Amino acid sequence: MKKVTINSVAEYAGVSKKTVSRVLNNEPNVSPATREKVLKVFKELDYKPNPIARGLARNKSFIIGCLYDNPSKSYITRVQSGALEACHKFNYNLLIHPCELRGTELIENVGQLLTTSRLDGLVLTPPFSDSQELIDYLKTQDIPYARVASAIQDDSSISVRSNDEQGAFELTEHLILLGHKDIAFIKGHPDHSATEKRFSGYRNALLKHGIDFKSHLVAEGNFSYHSGADSAKEILDLDPMPTAVFASNDYMAAAVLKLATQRQLKVPEDISIAGFDNAPIARHIWPGLTTIAQPVEEMTRQAVEQLIMQISDPSTEVYQKVLEAKLITRESTAAR
Amino acid sequence: MKKVTINSVAEYAGVSKKTVSRVLNNEPNVSPATREKVLKVFKELDYKPNPIARGLARNKSFIIGCLYDNPSKSYITRVQSGALEACHKFNYNLLIHPCELRGTELIENVGQLLTTSRLDGLVLTPPFSDSQELIDYLKTQDIPYARVASAIQDDSSISVRSNDEQGAFELTEHLILLGHKDIAFIKGHPDHSATEKRFSGYRNALLKHGIDFKSHLVAEGNFSYHSGADSAKEILDLDPMPTAVFASNDYMAAAVLKLATQRQLKVPEDISIAGFDNAPIARHIWPGLTTIAQPVEEMTRQAVEQLIMQISDPSTEVYQKVLEAKLITRESTAAR
DNA sequence: ATGATATTTGACACCGGTGTCATAATGTCA
DNA sequence: TGACATTATGACACCGGTGTCAAATATCAT
């Protein structure tokens, strides 16, 4: 299998390299006859341009990097799947790069990534999308990036998020309307901006309905199943026990459900449990979890799509969007 | 921020490009003094070689591709995490490429991937690692690849798998020793070689203990939660109902557990349920699933590590390994 | 000191494309 | 038909490295 390069094509077609390059890139100023001829040779020799050479000449790699550090596997796969969809639409590829937010090496680590892969852009998922330090660094490197599910203010970069506050508000209201007054809340990871947003949605709903906020009903989680299990213990040990628990994501809610069931509590008869995200686990367990569907794939898809726009035309207006979250009721919540 | 290239380094250090290149690649035949001098300039100018230029010159990208099409999110993330570990150890990056096994475009799709990204190697995960068609194609493209969890015979390529048959045998035996005789089995996806292996482990255990194999106790699944739900219905509708169910993975087992619970059956008192893989969900639900721990990360890590070895030295002996699977007992199985 | 050999170094082509600019071919209008 | 604008084409440098090979220098034995 001999290698077919732009040179061989040019020679075979009897034109210059440059003309072949023009045809390749659909540039104007090629006569129809010549274009036709070259295209035929492409077919005949089964020519595929070398992306690396092209990358060198144009200083582009057609690769987008995805940064993440998230305890939820399903969140990651959803992010990836949205990102891939957008990438493939525009013939980009996706390189994944998990790393840790904490630790002084973050900047170094990302810098390493940038120099070793020459990415054309970066998608930041929480908690990176909320890291001011990282964002400041990226600005100095002038590499385009897009933030997913970030609540921090930065008008100069692409951002797509969903309305966490609104979602949490609706879910809390749902519980209140079912007659619950003692609603425990499990917070997410403090590094994620969604954590505060969801918490404030919860508080606002209580406020609106004239229910006193009680701080002893709030447990500190970090989105991991394990932290949910710890919080579950705290909450179920309370006396009197709250009649409902709202966990900031489905994994933690699943942990509450597990402990409740272990303790012979009936869900939702004895206690209602709700989560957030609509992760697969929410419907894989019994009873199914009432939760808030967050359009993770869609957020990421849009973010990456816009990122690619920005890469191909830096003058594109910076896209900032907030998508709606939606209440999904299942069997884990019921009237008091 | 001015760009620092090999030329500027050379000029600044007062040596030729080539000498800089030698230092860069730790090549011999550079006098200690010169090497020292160049290294100092590296630091001073904060020089980072351009991987794309290097890739063009050496026809290498330092990127490994990972092909998958698997309904289990947790399986995918485990695969990725093992692959990433190996990649980062050797300064490679990982590009992920989900695609569908079925459909005539597979070869075309992969071909496209290879020409648009110039990968240095490919990791195949099930069901791709079992696809003879794909493997034949890859051989014609002469790109190095490694197979993960594949049972098909191919001495010429790297393969790391775990002992599915043995694992299924042990799990079945565990159920038998608990006194179960009517043990239903839910098969996995027919495109995965593990499916037959697990099934045959199940049959062999029955055989060894003199229990008749009953085909009506076998349901056809495909590893997805959904298929598990369908199979669960079939099995729980049987009369008499079997006293134990062994699903070929944990997702399907979780579906059985959900339906059983919905039907007010007590697990494990009324029916024992077991899965395979030791996916996170196995311990996220109540009762926890008895299952077989499959070292997915470790398999992939080894496969990628060997792949990289092979890339850097094609004469490396082809690595083929079978790792052990391990029985994990939890609350979902009990004596009859 | 001399020649023989080993080590260090650099000039230059090359990887496979793209960008710039000059030149050739064609079209337009008075 | 000539003057000029427009379109088509190619020569050549360039992106930032690596490979080849010959020249320069150092090392060693005699």
B155 token code pair:
């001495």
Q: B144 and B232 share a domain? A: no
- pLDDT of res. B313: 85
A285 token code pair:
């367990």
Give CA–CA dist B231/B216, Å, rounded. 12
Q: Is residue A228 part of a domain?
A: yes
Which DSSP string do the residues of B121-161 spell out, in sequence order? EEEE-TTGGG-HHHHHHHHHTT--EEEES--S--TTSEEEE
- Report the CATH number that the domain containing residue B118 is assigned in CATH: 3.40.50.2300
Query: Integer distance in angstroms from CA A52 to C1' D21?
Result: 27
Q: Nearest nt (C1') to B54 (CA)?
A: D17
Q: Is residue A285 part of a domain?
A: yes
Q: What is the 3-state secondary structure (H, E, C) of A159-224?
A: EEEECHHHHHHHHHHHHHHCCCCCEEEEECCCCCHHHHHHHHHHHHHHHHCCCCCCHHHEEECCCC
Is A123 within 8 Å of A67 (Cβ atoms)? yes
| Tens of pLDDT, residue by residue, chain B (336 residues) | 568 999 999 999 999 999 999 999 999 899 999 999 999 999 999 999 999 999 999 988 889 999 999 778 889 999 999 999 999 999 898 999 998 888 778 998 898 888 888 899 999 999 999 999 999 999 988 899 999 999 888 899 999 999 999 999 999 999 999 999 999 999 999 999 999 999 999 999 999 999 999 999 999 999 999 999 999 999 999 999 999 999 999 999 999 999 999 999 999 999 999 999 999 999 999 999 999 999 999 999 999 999 999 998 888 899 999 999 999 999 999 998
Q: A146 and A227 share a domain? A: no
Q: A38 and A90 share a domain? A: no
Chain A residues with CB under 8 Å of B267 CB are none
Choose one of B14, B29, B49: the last residue of a domain: B49
Distance between B184 CA and the closest CA of chain A, angstroms: 21
Contact criterion met (CB < 8 Å) for B74 and A76 = no
Q: Is B117 on the interface with A (CB under 8 A)?
A: yes
Q: Is residue B335 part of a domain?
A: no
Nearest CB to B93 within list A77, A95, A285: A95
Which DSSP string do the residues of A275-324 spell out, in sequence order? -SB--THHHHSSSPPBEEE--HHHHHHHHHHHHHHHHH-TTSPPPEEEEP
Is B204 within 8 Å of B210 (Cβ atoms)? no
Contact criterion met (CB < 8 Å) for B254 and A73 = no
Give CA–CA dist A72/A74, Å, rounded. 5
Q: Is residue A330 part of a domain?
A: no
Q: A105 and A152 share a domain? A: yes
Is A245 within 8 Å of A274 (Cβ atoms)? yes
Q: B279 and B302 share a domain? A: no
- pLDDT of res. A100: 87
Q: Please give the tally of structural domains in chain B.
A: 3
Buried-state track B276-301, b at ≥16 Cβ within 10 A, e below 16: bbbbbbbbbbbbbbbbbbbbbbbbbb
Q: B114 and B30 share a domain? A: no
* CA A23 to mean position of chain CA atoms: 38
Q: Nearest nt (C1') to A55 (CA)?
A: C17
Q: B314 and B233 share a domain? A: no
Q: Is residue A1 part of a domain?
A: no
A268 upstream amide cis, omega within 30 of 0: yes
Q: Rounded to the nearest 5°, which phi and psi values hold at A284?
A: -90, -10
Which DSSP string do the residues of B67-113 spell out, in sequence order? EE--S-HHHHHHHHHHHHHHHHHTT-EEEEEE--SSSTHHHHHHHHH
Residues β-bridged to residue B277: B293
Contact criterion met (CB < 8 Å) for B51 and A262 = no
Cα–Cα distances in angstroms (integers) from residue A152 to residues A95, A320, B222, in the given order: 25, 12, 42
- Domain span at residue B83 reads 58-162+296-323
Q: Is residue B268 part of a domain?
A: yes
Contact criterion met (CB < 8 Å) for A117 and B51 = yes
- pLDDT of res. A236: 98
CA geometry: angle at A190 spanning A85 and A179, to 5°?
Answer: 90
Q: B172 and B277 share a domain? A: yes
Count of pairs with CB atoms under 8 A, one residue in A, one in B:
107
Q: B119 and B151 share a domain? A: yes
Burial environment of residue B266 by CB neighbours within 10 A (0 to 12, 13 to 18, 19 or more): exposed
- Report the CATH number that the domain containing residue B38 is assigned in CATH: 1.10.260.40
- pLDDT of res. A1: 57
- A43-89 residue pLDDT tens: 999 999 999 999 999 988 889 999 999 778 889 999 999 999 999 99
Give CA–CA dist B16/B22, Å, rounded. 10
Q: A170 and A286 share a domain? A: yes
B3 token code pair:
């760009």
Closest CA to A247 of A183, A179, A335, A174: A183
Chain A residues with CB under 8 Å of B139 CB are none
Q: Is A25 on the interface with B (CB under 8 A)?
A: no
Spatial neighbors of A181 by CB under 8 A, at least 6 apart, are A211, A243, A336
Which residue of chain A is at minimal alpha-carbon distance from B288?
A258
Contact criterion met (CB < 8 Å) for A93 and B93 = no
Give CA–CA dist B153/B130, Å, rounded. 9
B314 upstream amide cis, omega within 30 of 0: no
Q: Is residue A144 part of a domain?
A: yes
- Strand D bases near protein CB (under 7 Å) are 7-20
Q: Is A321 on the interface with B (CB under 8 A)?
A: no
- Residues (pLDDT < 70) of chain A are 1-2
B226 token code pair:
């959904």
Residues β-bridged to residue A274: A246, A290
Q: Is A261 on the interface with B (CB under 8 A)?
A: yes
Q: A93 and A128 share a domain? A: yes
Q: A33 and A100 share a domain? A: no
Question: Can you tell me which residue has its alpha carbon closest to the C1' of nucleotide C11?
Answer: B16
Q: Is residue A328 part of a domain?
A: no
